[in-house]
């Protein structure tokens, strides 16, 4: 099943209808609260990729390796690296990454 369930970011309703497009991305409007935005699965995928990139940056993986592993372009990785450099490192790191298997 390729059907993706999109939910409104404001009220959580799934009653969305297509409402034109923005820069080629389909735009949706929530019929419950009239909130409208681009709800693309691609955006969610990118968010996951970026989180992965930031995790790899924390582990001091080289940028070229990150490009290979995640498919995120190098300029984007540089941008994320600069962004994360300004944030204080999280005190978490609860579990040590067991056998990442990156050769």
Binding residues for Zn ion (CB under 5 A): 8, 10-11, 13, 30, 32-33, 35
| Shorter beta-carbon distance to Zn ion: residue 31 or 84 | 31
> How far apart are alpha carbons 46 and 38 in whole angstroms?
14
- Whole-number minimum distance, CB 60 to Zn ion, in Å? 42
Kindly tell me which of 13 and 49 has the beta carbon lying closer to Zn ion.
Answer: 13
DSSP 16: E
**Distance between CA 2 and CA 66 in Å, rounded?**
28
Our CB check for Zn ion shows the closer of 7 and 62 to be: 7
Dihedral-angle region of residue 17 (phi above 0 means left; psi in -120 to 50 means alpha; beta otherwise): beta
Work out the end-to-end distance of the chain between its first and last CA atoms, rounded to an integer number of angstroms: 35
């Amino acid at each position: 099943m390729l059907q993706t369930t999109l939910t409104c970011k404001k009220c959580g309703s799934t009653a969305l209808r297509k409402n034109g497009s923005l820069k080629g991305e389909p735009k949706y409007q929530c019929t419950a609260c009239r909130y409208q935005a681009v709800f693309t699965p691609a955006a969610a995928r990118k968010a996951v990729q970026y989180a992965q990139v930031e995790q790899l940056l924390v582990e001091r993986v080289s940028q070229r390796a990150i490009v290979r592993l995640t498919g995120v372009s190098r300029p984007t990785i540089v941008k994320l690296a600069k962004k994360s450099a300004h944030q204080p490192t999280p005190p978490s790191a609860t579990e040590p990454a067991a056998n990442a298997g990156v050769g």
